[in-house]
Amino acid sequence: MSAETHKIFVCTSCRHKGTNCRPGYQLIKTLQEALKTALPLTGDDFEVSGIACMAGCSRPCTVAYRANAKATYLFGDIDPEADIDDLVAFALQYRELDDGWCNSGDRPGKLSRTALARIPAAIIVAEANEAAVS
Ligand code: FES
Q: How many domains does the chain have?
A: 1
pTM here? Answer: 0.88
Question: Does any domain span residue 41?
Answer: yes
Flag whether 1 is in a domain. no
Range of the domain at 124: 6-133
Rama region for 49: left / alpha / beta (φ>0; ψ in -120 to 50; rest) = beta
* CA 13 / ligand 1 centre spacing (Å): 5
Q: What CATH number is attached to the domain comprising 35?
A: 3.40.30.10
pLDDT (tens place) for every residue of the chain, 134 residues total:
445 689 999 999 999 877 888 999 999 999 999 998 887 655 568 899 999 999 999 999 999 999 999 999 999 999 999 999 999 999 999 999 999 999 999 999 999 999 999 999 876 666 667 776 66
Please indicate whether residue 13, judged by its CB atom, sits closer than 6 Å to ligand 1.
yes
Q: Is 62 in the pocket of ligand 1 (CB under 6 A)?
A: yes
